[in-house]
């Protein structure tokens, strides 16, 4: 089964922000930001939720255009669409990621 990845011109700020509004999805984005540009295997990010719940969150981020998802054999991988998000919404990801580093 393929994954829907909206084109850059289809990215909507309300959809992106809504997808980032859930703590688990925000944690995914931050983990991917710290994991590098090549992406990570889905199973390497410990979300503390069931596989079905994790799949729901991956799908929400993918459909919002925040991440891209692909499969190699039986393994699923995800990566931030950093460049595309930066071109459409300059500075947004930096703010989301920087908040992770800010003191409480």
6-48 pLDDT per residue, tens: 888 899 999 999 999 999 999 999 989 888 778 888 888 888 9
Claim: this prediction has a pTM higher than 0.95: no
Domain that residue 76 falls in:
8-99
Mean pLDDT of 62-84: 92
Taking every pair of Cα atoms in the chain, the longest distance, rounded to a whole number of angstroms, is 42
Question: Token pair of 36, please?
Answer: 């590098």
pLDDT exceeds cutoff 50 at 1: no
Whether residue 3 lies inside any domain: the answer is: no
Give the pLDDT score at 42: 85
CATH code for position 95: 1.10.10.10
46, part of any domain: yes
Inter-residue contact 34 to 81 (CB < 8 Å): no
**Could you give the number of structural domains in the chain?**
1
- Answer whether residue 101 shows pLDDT above 60: no
Residues 58-66: what's their mean pLDDT? Answer: 94
């Amino acid at each position: 089964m393929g994954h829907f990845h909206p084109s850059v011109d289809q990215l909507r700020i309300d959809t992106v922000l809504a997808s980032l509004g859930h703590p688990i999805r925000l944690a995914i984005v931050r983990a991917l930001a710290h994991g590098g540009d090549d992406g990570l295997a889905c199973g390497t990010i410990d979300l503390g939720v069931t596989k079905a719940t994790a799949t729901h969150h991956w799908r929400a981020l993918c459909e919002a255009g925040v991440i891209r998802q692909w499969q190699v054999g039986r393994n699923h991988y995800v990566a931030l669409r950093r460049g595309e998000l930066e071109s459409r919404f300059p500075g947004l990801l930096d703010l989301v990621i920087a908040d992770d580093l800010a003191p409480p």
